[in-house]
Chains A and B, each alone.
Chain A
Amino acid sequence: MATTETRTTARVVGTPVPRKEDRKLVTGHGQFMDNINLPGQLWLSVVRSPYAHATIKRVGLEGARELEGVVAAFSGAELAADWAGSLPCAWPVTEEIRMPSHFPLAFDKARHVGDGVAVVVAESREIAKDAAELVEVEYEPLAAVTDVGRALEPDAPIVHDDFETNECYVWKLDAGEIEQAFADAEVTVKRSYRQQRLVPAAMEPRGALAQELPGTGELTLWSSTQIPHILRLTLAGVVGVPEARLRVIAPDVGGAFGSKLDVYAEEALCLALARRLKRPVKWIEERSEAFNATIHGRDVLQEIELAATAEGKITAVRVRLVSAMGAYLQLVTPGIPLLGAWVYAGCYDIPAYSFECTGVFTHTTPTDAYRGAGRPEATYAIERVVDALATELGMDPVELRRRNFITEFPATIASGLTIDSGDFNASLDRALEHLDLDALRAEQAERRARGDTKELGIGLSTYVEMCGLAPSGILGAIRYVAGGWDAATVRCLPSGTVQVLTGTSPHGQGHETSWSQIAADELGYEVDEIEVLHGDTTVSPLGMDTYGSRSLAVGGIALHQAAQKIVAKARTLAAHQLQVPEDELDYEAGTFTAGDSSVTMKELAFAAWSAHDIPPGFEPGLEATAVYDPPNFSWPGGAHAAVVEIDTETGDVQLIRYVAVDDVGKVVNPMIVDGQIHGGIAQGVAQALFEEAVYDEDGTLLTSSFTNYLVPSAAELPSFELDRTETPSPTNPLGVKGVGETGAIASPAAVMNAVADALAPYGVTDIDMPATPERVWRALEEARR
């Protein structure tokens, strides 16, 4: 742990500083991808397969090439020589994993609707689009498998012929005496759940622009991405350019939620075509493309089984998953289900643990990280089956949870990881207080007694999750290619302002503000005197980017450490100037004091820059870089509760209240933290009630626009009631934990437990997400029969 010697009194950390990012965004001056244009740029359009599975017999480009304004058109085969490597998958989860090659354009077969098979490049966006429609591709359509549950059936069409199976991998984790626990169990419950396929649907579609600098061969890529640093490394390998000569810039990015944590075909295509054609090449995704060409989330079948005593002590949990990879492996596709693999016991002390996941290929858009990635699935399964166990035991679900909560921290759980801190009873107590559960149960009983057609349902979800993946050694042990560290540089400029260079790459999370708060407190500057630079591999060359709720608990700590290095260096210079030993200096809020004399950080920054009077061996300038590799994951937790009203005649479900009590450790900016939780809850509620990507049997995505894929509007959601409990993380010096995904992780279970609670008197034993009016109505009809 870092020294605390130079910690100043907190001044702005913990306060709701309004966001520095906002002014440009509310006035329409954000620099989003489609606002960036270069002189002479060409437009790329991708010709995509309308078939889920087809042999590509011929790609006819003549018509497109003849159109005025078209500069070039290529089939996948014609570009094959442009690739030095396959689009990367950075998480080969087992040694035996089947890893298909995946090039930016398919040249033998199309394997999902939306798979790119040809490109055209033209002088304008419109001409490129028109030309793409003139490309004549001759396909031989083949049978497809889109249902994750059918992928391993003996007659299922094979996605990658070489493998002769659709099985991608089988991954297992066993701990404790699982068979014995089930043999000895007084009660067992087993349930199957389905995590429907979801579309991340960031409001800004993807986009990319590539330029080769004339004469030097240096390439610059602008991309609407979460991961400029990872792109630099991986795309260098795909297009065959030295990493040091590739610059990647993430401009303002209009949301991502995991969907821009990928190395995409179009990014590689823009680079390769800019290099070939010696002109900048730009591509902007249309929404209809995005539904098929940007990764999807979830699509997992779950089976979970608990063993317990008659008193409700859970003794074992056994989990079996079948998880859809889609047609190819994107950056971390195989690892997504494993991000939940360690936490299927939830916040409960369960000594025996068995987890197995089978990854399967289907003729669908690849899946990958979507807000929560593995942990919403785990939380959903354990929280729903705990409610099922409560029903089985005739026990109050609140009481059952309390009987099994982990209460001593740090807690090494059966799956092998260590939860550093938490207090699950405290957050549950607070949530119940807000909820006024007794009053709600009374109203529920009254409605039932009077035969009200509008049923009330109350659902709980108590959760713990692991985010901020670390340390790097553990990531290596689970076969993730990258490390878990992040980096920051602090540079005190001579004129009294500070540059912070961060390796995180925000796209809505407000790092410019929160990072300024951290630096301001350490260095004694005002928030507005600090400029946070990010998202450009040349400006901020070291970093691991933003995903998995890692930025504050990893990158924020790197910044804290860099600032402490600055203070330590400034102390040496201050001692020299004030002619006192270093240890006689007091430091607070940017000022070193010894007796009556003092010197400020800003004065020292100038003195360090001019270097006119510095101690021997003192390196001019006040700049420091820190790279931080956390010793553990970050473990947020909490208790969420949902109240739904269900019209039993129409099946309509209204979410009428939502209470969230989260423990995300110390909070840097409570306004931003609340915003993250609001957004996460909205996405989780959307999974529970509204959203589902549906393929037909031929592999056509039926829900391919916002008119039939229901991203909720303000009208579908209530205001959420938020509160916090706080157990500071002992893992890092700021005591912070992640917060980006907690809402999406906790909420689907809370809402669906509420739906199940409302429908229980009708004999409805279970219902899948999303609980649409039709699904609820059908479940009621079936139960009535």
Chain B
Amino acid sequence: MRRVSLAVNGVRHELDLEPRELLVYVLRERLGLTGTNVGCDTSSCGACTVLVEGESVKSCTVLGVQADGRDVTTIEGLADNGTLHPIQQAFHEQHGLQCGYCTPGMVMAVVSLLADNPDPTEAEIRSGLEGNLCRCTGYQNIVEAVQSAAAVA
């Protein structure tokens, strides 16, 4: 066990973690933040994407202990007092989700994408989201949601 201190969505947690515990299970099972989903265990699908220090990472390939001393943002930390984050709002308005399983990871990847490139082209959006799989939407409305969120920002 190792004592770890991490801030998740602005709340500081002190946890005793086993070295093999993955960040995604720390979030889901220790902290009850089940919005971050597990889709593949091989860091291929991106369902588990969260932000660590503002950068998108796949939380199934990060050990909990690696997040020691860091700020983590999950999907639960985006909406402000019940008001959807502009990217969440754009996913809703553009029908950028169907089953919703990839959505938390996809939204977090878009937060990171737009932070790096506030006005991306369609090609930049598509290549920027290459690490996040969606089986429902064919990506078209996700791309439109990103464009719409970029226009609002």
Interface positions of A (Cβ within 8 A of B): 16, 18-19, 21-30, 32, 34-35, 201-205, 252-255, 257, 286-288, 507-510, 671-672, 674-675, 678-683, 705-707, 711, 713-715, 717, 719-720, 743
Contacts and interface: CB of A to CB of B under 8 A. Distances in A.
Interface in B34-64: 34-42, 44-45, 47
A125 B92 CA distance: 34
A34 B39 CA distance: 11
26 contacts: A22-B91, A22-B97, A26-B91, A29-B76, A30-B100, A30-B101, A35-B28, A35-B34, A202-B99, A202-B101, A203-B102, A255-B98, A287-B41, A508-B98, A508-B99, A671-B95, A674-B141, A678-B137, A678-B141, A679-B135, A679-B138, A680-B138, A705-B40, A707-B42, A714-B126, A717-B139
B39 A21 contact: no
Main secondary structure, interface of B, reads loop
Interface of B: 28, 33-42, 44-45, 47, 74-76, 78-79, 84, 88, 91-93, 95, 97-104, 107, 122, 125-127, 129-143
B39 A26 contact: no
Contacts of A507: 99
Given A287-B41, A510-B98, A707-B42, A26 B84 contact: yes
A679 B34 contact: no
Contact of B39 (A35, A204, A510, A680): A204
B104 A28 contact: yes
Contact of B103 (A25, A680, A715): A25
B33 A28 contact: yes
Given A203-B47, A678-B141, A715-B129, 9 more contacts: A18-B95, A27-B35, A35-B34, A255-B136, A287-B45, A508-B98, A671-B95, A707-B44, A717-B140
A508 B136 CA distance: 8
A199 B108 CA distance: 27
A719 B107 contact: no
A682 B140 CA distance: 10
Given A252-B100, A719-B143, A28 B76 contact: yes
B9 to A, nearest CB: 10
Nearest to A256: B99
B142 A714 contact: yes
Contacts of A681: 138
B92 A22 contact: yes
A672 B95 contact: yes
B95 A19 contact: yes
A203 B102 CA distance: 7
B117 to A, nearest CB: 15
Q: Which of B34, B97, B139 has the most CB of A within 10 A?
A: B139
B139 A28 contact: no
Contacts of A24: 100
Contacts of A743: 138
Contact of B84 (A27, A508, A680): A27
A26 B88 contact: yes
B136 A679 contact: yes
Given A679-B136, A713-B132, A705 B44 contact: yes
A686 B45 CA distance: 16
A461 B92 CA distance: 32
Contacts of A257: 135
B92 A679 contact: no
A28 B36 contact: yes
A254 B93 contact: no
